[in-house]
Amino acid sequence: MKNYIHIIQEFHTIASGNDHAVAFAVMEIKSVYEDSGNPQGAIKEFETLLTATNNKTVRNVIRFQLLELQKNNGQRDKAIENLRLVLQENG
């Protein structure tokens, strides 16, 4: 029962905060695409989402997931560029 209550509390924390909800959604997008064997689909999705928002937190979350996908799929130069953009946008 304690585990069930803990899960509900964690889900509430994620669902009630914009930053938490965005982070969860971005990680799930990545997971769905990877599970279907289509990491390039997630990369395209994230690149599109980056053009749709100016929110720094959202952009950071997307970039961190994007650069991990790029790094793991032979796009290390793009991953490094995304790290530079995180530093530039937040510095």
pLDDT at position 13 is 67
Q: Give, rounded to a whole angstrom, the gap between the first and last alpha carbons of the chain.
A: 45
Structurally, the chain folds into a number of domains equal to: 1
Query: Considering Cα of 2, then 14, then 89, then 69, what sign does the dihedral take?
Result: positive
CB of 70 closer than 8 Å to CB of 79: yes
pLDDT at 22: 85
Range of the domain at 28: 2-90
Report for 21-25, 34-38, 52-56: range of highest mean pLDDT: 34-38
Q: What percent of the chain has pLDDT over 70?
A: 86
- pLDDT tens sequence across 68-87: 999 999 999 999 999 999 99
To the question of pTM greater than 0.85 for the whole model, the response is no
46: enclosing H helix or E strand? helix 39-52
pLDDT band at 46 (very low <50, low <70, confident <90, very high): very high
